[in-house]
Amino acid sequence: MTSTRAYRKALPVSDAIAEIRRCSGTRSDPDIVLAFFACQPKIVMPGDVSLPKGYEESFLALFRPRIV
């Protein structure tokens, strides 16, 4: 929710947290939501987590079907 996607812009962290709380018991398992909020203070928001150039392509190649 906090990452920009092709189909929507990223939500601010506060909006994402509100959405998780709002959906507890419907779209989200309430026990998982409680666990998330229990460990939330330990969650680190990294800066730039860009993958090295070519990494994604080489990683995805591992899962492409091979013709034998």
**Domain ranges for the chain:** 13-61
Where is pLDDT greater, at 12 or 57? 12
Q: What is the DSSP string of 13-46?
A: HHHHHHHHHHTBTTTB-HHHHHHHHHHGGG----
Q: What is the tens place of the pLDDT at every residue in 2-41?
A: 888 888 888 888 888 899 999 999 999 999 999 988 888 7
Under 8 Å between Cβ of 19 and 1? yes
Entry pTM: 0.57
